[in-house]
């Protein structure tokens, strides 16, 4: 168990050996890694624990450098545990490099069914017992998908929780994947309108890039194909505080100046690859739609819901936009089957992803009856017109969880926890404690 120091903190590595399937504790085992962070000089204090659940799915926990970002506030009160959720980071990984070792596509798909919020929460429970004992309780901070996991935690094991803090992550309790994307495309369109209102010169610049991609086969530096649809998916950036500005700077550097024919610059292609590649978080692509699967809500498969629902919104068709002289709209947090053909990090997982998309009878993740009887203090930041999590769904869930207190704000985008210098976390802590 390694222990080291960073500016203002003491950091301890923890690795836990846990069942792949918690219903079969005698079966295959995996490792789950977590990083304990405590303020320097307080490492021997009896501090309450705060476990952080990262957004995703498939995102590893932050790699801090001292008391940075929201840790500046958290370490005033807590001993923080940064969990690499199963399959991510230093936990037993699930990637194109490891998953083929499971066997054929069916074996890979069976393995992938164990990486949703229900399994993550059961991991948390095993880790809690190891660190705090059977009767120990801790607090949870969930960002985005981590908030989904926190609501699952409240449904499965509320007696283990002192308080729950959620930022941009109150899920619809009874919403199908189709419902989620049917609500998402209009939000994406609003973010596009805001982007083009801020940077009107980008309307024609984006149209020029799409026209070029329709007539030219373009490869990214890592070997992936940049299609018009892949370029549109850069809209995933538009829901973050700096995203529209970053996208603008990418677009303005798109073409090499001074050449007789249009050529996309290496700078542009490198920046695009860094945004589009799933090499660092393949589980985001493979499991993004199954995080909405619940047999009591919809027993059938998710079946590429984002792709199917997109057909209901022809304004996102790049060719229609070009023909009509309209702005080309970027998409957002949507996963499409073609991604498993254009991204080298996803290509080896294509068959398994197809089987996951056809998987039926996903277990329920939330217990509305138990949530209605909740006694754990819960505070949630709901970002007004959040691009990634529907505000109406979040507020409906807030009403359905007994005692949950919300802070609805348009001061921050979805990344408010990270960029607010601890202000978002401080507000949630005070809400949960009844100080506001």
The model's pLDDT over 35-90, given as tens digits with 9 standing for 90+, comes to: 999 999 999 999 999 999 999 999 999 999 999 999 999 999 999 999 999 999 99
Strand partners, 409: 383
| Catalytic choice (298, 414, 415, 420) | 414
Interval 295-341: pLDDT, tens: 999 999 999 999 999 999 999 999 999 999 999 999 999 999 999 99
The tens digit of pLDDT for each residue in 28-44 reads: 999 999 999 999 999 99
**Res. 427: pLDDT tops 80:** yes
Q: How confident is the model at residue 401 (pLDDT cuts 50, 70, 90)?
A: very high
pLDDT digits (tens, 9 = 90+) for 333-366: 999 999 999 999 999 999 999 999 999 999 999 9
Three-state SS string over the chain comes to: CCEEEECCEEEEEEEEEEECCCCCCCCCEEEEEEEEEEECCCCCCCCCEEEEECCCCCCCCCCCCCCCCCHHHHHHHCEEEEEECCECCCCCECCCCCHHHHCCHHHHHHHHCCCCHHHHHHHHHHHHHHHHCCCCCEEEEEECHHHHHHHHHHHHCHHHEEEEEEECCCCCCCCCHHHHHHHHHHHHHHHHHHHHHHCCCHHHHHHHHHHHHHHCCCECCCCCECCHHHHHHHHHHHHCCCHHHHHHHHHHCCECCCCCCCCECHHHHHHHHHHHCCCCCHHHHHHCCHHHCCCCCCCCCCCCHHHHHHCCCHHHCHHHHHHHCCCCCCCCCCCCCCHHHHCCCCHHHHHHHHHHHCCCCCCCCCCHHHHHCCCCCEEEEEECCCCCCCHHHHHHHHHHCCCEEEEEECCCCCCHHHHCCCHHHHHHHHHHCCCC
Question: Which residue ranges form the domains of the chain, and what is each CATH number?
Answer: 3-173+366-432 (3.40.50.1820), 177-357 (no CATH)
Put simply, whether the predicted model's pTM sits higher than 0.75 gets the answer yes
Measured CA to CA, the distance from residue 53 to residue 120 in angstroms comes to 9
Share of residues in the chain with pLDDT > 90 (%)? 99
Residue 378 has pLDDT above 90, yes or no: yes
Give the pLDDT score at 32: 98
The pLDDT score that the predictor gives to residue 1 is: 74
The confidence score (pLDDT) of residue 168 equals: 97
Residue 91: active-site member: no
Residues 190-219: pLDDT tens digits? 999 999 999 999 999 999 999 999 999 999
Check whether 392 has a pLDDT greater than 90. Answer: yes
Active site residue 144: yes
Place of tokens 């945004």: 275
User: Residue 183 burial by CB count (10 A; 0-12/13-18/19+): exposed, middle or buried?
Assistant: middle
Structure-block tokens of residue 77: 């009160």
The catalytically annotated residue of 118, 386, 390, 415 is: 386
pLDDT exceeds cutoff 80 at 117: yes
Model pLDDT for residues 282-307, shown as the tens digit of each residue: 999 999 999 999 999 999 999 999 99
Give the confidence band of 112 by pLDDT, cuts at 50, 70, 90: very high
Which residue among 119, 144, 160, 420 is the active-site one?
144
Q: Tell me, yes or no, if 414 is annotated catalytic.
A: yes
211-246 pLDDT, tens digit per residue, is 999 999 999 999 999 999 999 999 999 999 999 999
């Amino acid at each position: 168990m390694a222990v080291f120091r960073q500016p203002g903190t003491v950091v301890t590595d923890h690795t836990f050996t846990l069942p792949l399937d918690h219903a079969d504790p005698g079966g295959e085992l995996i490792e789950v890694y977590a990083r304990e962070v405590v303020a320097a000089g307080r490492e021997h204090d009896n501090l309450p624990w705060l476990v952080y659940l990262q957004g995703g799915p498939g995102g590893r926990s932050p790699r801090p450098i001292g008391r940075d970002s929201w840790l500046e506030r958290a370490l005033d009160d807590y001993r923080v545990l940064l969990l690499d959720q199963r399959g991510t980071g230093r936990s037993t990984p699930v990637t194109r490099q490891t998953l083929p070792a499971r066997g054929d596509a069916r074996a890979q798909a069976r393995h992938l069914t164990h990486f949703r919020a229900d399994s993550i929460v059961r991991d948390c429970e095993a880790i809690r017992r190891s660190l705090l004992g059977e009767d120990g309780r801790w607090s949870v901070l969930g960002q985005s998908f981590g908030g989904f996991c926190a609501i699952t935690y409240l449904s499965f094991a509320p007696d283990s929780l002192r308080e729950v803090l959620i930022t941009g992550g109150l899920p619809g309790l009874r919403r199908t994947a189709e419902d989620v994307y049917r609500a998402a495309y209009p939000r994406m369109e609003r973010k596009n309108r805001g982007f083009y209102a801020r940077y009107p010169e980008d309307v024609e610049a984006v149209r020029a890039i799409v026209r070029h991609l329709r007539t030219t086969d373009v490869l990214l530096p890592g070997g992936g194909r940049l299609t018009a649809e892949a370029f549109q998916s850069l809209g995933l950036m538009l829901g973050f505080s700096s995203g529209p500005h970053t996208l603008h700077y990418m677009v303005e550097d798109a073409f090499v100046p001074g050449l007789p024919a249009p050529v996309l610059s290496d700078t542009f292609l490198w920046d695009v690859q860094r945004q589009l590649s799933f090499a660092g978080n393949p589980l985001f692509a493979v499991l993004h739609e199954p995080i909405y699967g619940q047999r009591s809500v919809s027993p059938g498969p998710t079946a590429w819901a984002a792709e199917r629902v997109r057909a209901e919104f022809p304004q996102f068709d790049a060719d229609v936009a070009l023909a009509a002289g309209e702005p080309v709209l970027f998409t957002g947090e949507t996963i499409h089957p073609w991604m498993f053909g254009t991204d080298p990090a996803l290509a080896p997982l294509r068959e398994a992803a197809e089987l996951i998309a056809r998987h039926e009878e996903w277990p329920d993740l939330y217990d509305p009856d138990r949530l209605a009887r909740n006694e754990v203090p819960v505070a949630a930041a709901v970002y007004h017109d959040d691009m990634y999590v529907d505000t109406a769904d979040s507020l409906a869930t807030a009403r359905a969880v007994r005692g949950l207190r919300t802070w609805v704000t348009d001061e921050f985008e979805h990344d408010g926890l990270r960029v607010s210098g601890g202000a978002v976390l401080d507000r949630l802590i005070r809400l949960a404690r009844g100080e506001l």
